[in-house]
Chains A and B, each alone.
Chain A
Amino acid sequence: MITLDNVSKTYGTGEQAIHALKPVHLHVPQGAIHGVIGLSGAGKSTLIRCVNLLERPTTGRVFVDGDELTALDAASLNRARHRVGMIFQHFNLLSSRTVFANVALPLELMGVAKREIRERVEPLLELTGLADKRDMYPAQLSGGQKQRVAIARALASRPKVLLCDEATSALDPQTTLSILELLQDINRKLGLTILLITHEMEVVKTICHRVSLISAGELVEEADVGDFFTAPQTRLGREFLNAFLELEPPQALVDRLAAQPGDDTHPVVRLAFTGDSVSTPLVSRLARDCDIDVSILEAKVESIQDRTLGLMIAELIGPADKTREALAYLESHDLQVEVLGHVQRDA
């Protein structure tokens, strides 16, 4: 439904050129909810704005619903944009128009007759839970309600694709959840393809099917959400995940961690259990089979859509040869092992 082929964006020229987006490839199939996550300034907005050509890519081609947008003249592009809705972080509603008139705007732009506008806007207000707010002005609405108006407005032209630029970043967690549920509902009911950008793992976890990680203008990783949350392939991916899971070793321990093992040290590991390994009693087996002690410092279980993810930070306490053996044992199983460092015994 959406294909970016070698799309890049450079602002400015010569010395001051900013390569906001390096050449990227991205394909989002019909009906998917695809998230792009990255840090501030990574190029997320640039990427999503290239999809509907709010930003003209410097190189590359953009396809939406079979049309090459980058090849269209101004009039055809405007027509093609009716099939691509967009919502924004700051809602961008017209303060001079009521809720109804805001939602009607795209239809007015398309030249739809008044009566038909009413017939199309009313159901959208129902769908987004705004029927009783019909004649209010945006200033009288809460942030969540404003984003609902923006969603209804974006759907008015019956688009195939919805672009969401940090659509929930200005909202509190609870409102965020209700907006995400609405988006999911729309995706299911209308088969709408959604491309969203965010800096929040929570958003990706809650509604995305697939996710791309963007860093310094490059898409460095792409995976199904279940895989990304259980086994991110890049360092940045792991950082995002750890920050999201808030599973960092306690500071007191970090201060004592040495990168290299010494004479009298034992390893501290972070274990991520996924798939079958979640339900296997690995820790007790480890202690028994390798004859070591395992001290669990932190542990947590998260469910990511249909997957379960178990996380643990533990010290493996025993003689050096035994703990080495224990690490090998862990690595031979279906779980991720990361040695965070080594601490002095009895320190």
Chain B
Amino acid sequence: MSSAMLELILEATLDTLYMVAVSGLIATALGVPLGVLLYVTRPGQILAQPLTNRVLGMVTNIGRSIPFIILMVAIIPFTRALVGSSIGTNAAAVPLTIAAIPFVARLVEGALNEVPPGLIEAAQSMGATPYQIITKVLLPEARGGIITGLTITVVTLISYSAMAGAVGGGGLGDLGIRYGYNRFNPTIMLITVVILVVLVQGFQMLGDYLVRRSDHK
């Protein structure tokens, strides 16, 4: 295989990692607080706000129910306004992020839901404020579940980013389509698939390791 080809593969891999990293980090930064809000505003919870909770829940559900490929196309004007272009890795990161935020939020909410309510009560009996309950009890106790959720998110983002690549986003998906499919180069096709599998496997193992390390149950 030519060195030009290798360079192409390396570049595509880095592009994929870049898209996953950018969207993963932003989605975590926004999705975790949203997940916490979804949980603590539930009726009977420490910051019960039934109306807010219903609105947030609805928005989250809408975000989650739009197929990614449609979301990507539908928000092109927004993407263009935000990053100045509708193709390239930066442009692909926008819909990836938007799709991942509600995804992360629901997984975080689910992880918080696994924290025994007795722990919240114990903290309240010690005079903890809602903010302290979130930072000292809920998030640390749900850490394993949250890491599991973020691992699922990263793995999903890797496969979504390949989809984004197909419509001009760059990265391994783009490479696979352009060389592997359009020019019928099975070697390239195979290599992109292998790299994607290795990436997914790698992140899954890293996630599992982090969960194990934070789990004292």
Contacts and interface: CB of A to CB of B under 8 A. Distances in A.
Sorted nearest first, the 4 A-B pairs with minimum C-beta distance are A81-B127, A78-B127, A92-B122, A137-B216
A138 B215 CA distance: 12
Interface in A52-103: 52, 54, 77-82, 84-86, 88, 90, 92-97
B118 interface: yes
B124 A54 contact: yes
B179 to A, nearest CB: 48
B145 to A, nearest CB: 11
Contact of B137 (A82, A86, A94, A137): A94
A79 B127 CA distance: 6
Contacts of B141: 94-96
B117 to A, nearest CB: 9
A109 B121 contact: no
Interface residues of B, number: 21
B6 to A, nearest CB: 45
Contacts of A163: 125
A139 interface: yes
Interface string A326-345: 00000000000000000000
B126 A105 contact: yes
Given A88-B118, A95-B141, A95-B216, A109 B124 contact: no
A84 B124 CA distance: 11
Nearest to A82: B127
Given A94-B119, A94-B137, A96-B143, A86 B125 contact: yes
Given A82-B126, A157-B126, A109 B118 contact: no
B128 to A, nearest CB: 5
Contacts of A92: 116, 118-119, 121-122
Contact of B140 (A86, A88, A90, A97): A97
Binding site secondary structure of chain B: helix
Interface in A101-159: 105-106, 108-110, 137-139, 153, 157
B119 A109 contact: no
Nearest to A102: B122
Contacts of B143: 96
B132 interface: yes
B27 to A, nearest CB: 24
A138 B141 CA distance: 13
Interface residues of A, number: 30
B49 to A, nearest CB: 15
A305 to B, nearest CB: 30
A139 B214 CA distance: 13
Contacts of B129: 78
A52 B125 contact: yes
22 contacts: A54-B121, A79-B127, A80-B127, A81-B124, A81-B127, A84-B125, A85-B125, A86-B122, A88-B121, A92-B121, A94-B119, A94-B140, A96-B143, A96-B214, A96-B216, A105-B136, A109-B132, A110-B127, A137-B216, A138-B216, A153-B126, A157-B126
Contacts of A94: 119, 137, 140-141
Interface string B17-42: 00000000000000000000000000
A110 B132 CA distance: 10
Contacts of A110: 127
A344 B211 CA distance: 73
Interface in B129-175: 129, 132, 136-137, 140-141, 143
Contacts of B183: none
Contacts of A78: 127-129
Contacts of B137: 94
Contacts of B140: 94, 96-97
Interface string B84-128: 000000000000000000000000000000001011011111111
Contacts of A97: 140
B48 to A, nearest CB: 13
Contacts of B121: 54, 88, 92
A91 to B, nearest CB: 8
B125 A108 contact: no
B110 to A, nearest CB: 18
B122 to A, nearest CB: 4
A187 B121 CA distance: 24
B125 A95 contact: no
Nearest to B121: A54
B136 A109 contact: yes
Contacts of A108: 136
A139 B144 CA distance: 15
A92 B217 CA distance: 13
